[in-house]
Each structure stands twice: as structure tokens, then as C-alpha cells.
Amino acid sequence: MVDISHKRHIAKSITWRLVGTLDTIVLSWIISGDPFVGLQIGMAEVVTKMFLYYLHERAWFKINLSKDGKILESRKRHIAKTFTWRIVGTMDTMIIAWIISGNPLTGLKIGFAEVVTKMLLYYFHERIWYKINFGLSERKK
């Protein structure tokens, strides 16, 4: 039987991947000028990003940032998660975009463009999920 927190992290992984993939496709299309390249990059990321995001969620679930033994759920934690995820995600995007486009500069441009859009999207994704009780046995205060 799967632990309830695993179900939450899987659901968060799927919803974030949908948002993130759409953003990647649009940015890759704009930067490369080719919608097919945008689709290829976006689709290639689906598997790598879902796996990496799940690992990121599990790591943060195990990190205890408070003094009283409870997991700190705050805007500061969400901001920290946003930055750590963006580092992992941007590196993955740059490598995939470089491989698919054949141009390292295209990979860099797409990666740097994503830094801004994805951090904003991810922060709001985290805030929305913070308000959802799915996969929580109880809300930690």
C-alpha cells in the first residue's frame, strides 16, 4: 500500500508537469522559431522532469526546517523549494534543448527564459497545493 504522502507527491508532480510542459513548449517555440522543436523539447522533458520533481518533493518532505520537530510550511519554505527546483529544472531543460536543437546557445536561451516564468508558476503551484489537503493525514500548523 502506498503511503498517503506519496499519493500527494505524485499528484503534485503530475499537475506541475502539465503547467511546466506547456511553459516549456511555448518558450521553446518562441526562442527556436519552430513549433516542432518546442513540442519535442516539451515532450522530452515530461519523463525526466516528473522523475526529478518526485525526487525533489521526497527530499523536501524529509527536510525538517523547524526547531519544534514539525515541518515548516511557510512562504519561506516555498521560496526555498522554488529556487532548488528551478536549479534542477533549468539544468535539465538546457541539456535537453541543446540535444534536440543541436545548438548549445538555444539550450541556454530557453533555460534562462524559463528561470523567470517557471519560478513564478512554481511558487503559485506550491501556494495552491498548500491549501489543498489531498494526501495529508492532518494539516501541520
> pLDDT 10s per residue in the chain (141 long)?
446 678 888 898 889 889 989 999 999 999 999 999 999 999 998 889 888 988 998 888 887 655 565 656 677 788 888 889 889 989 999 999 999 999 999 999 999 999 889 889 988 998 998 888 887 776 555
Backbone angles phi, psi at 23, to 5 degrees: -65, -45
**What is the number of other CB atoms lying within 10 angstroms of the CB of residue 5?**
14
Say if residues 53 and 84 touch (Cβ distance below 8 Å). no
Q: What pLDDT is attached to residue 1?
A: 40
CA-wise closest residue to 89 among 27, 7, 11: 27
Say if residues 95 and 107 touch (Cβ distance below 8 Å). yes
Which pTM value belongs to this model? 0.72
Q: Which residue has the cell 503559485?
A: 124
Say if residues 53 and 16 touch (Cβ distance below 8 Å). yes
Say if residues 125 and 13 touch (Cβ distance below 8 Å). no
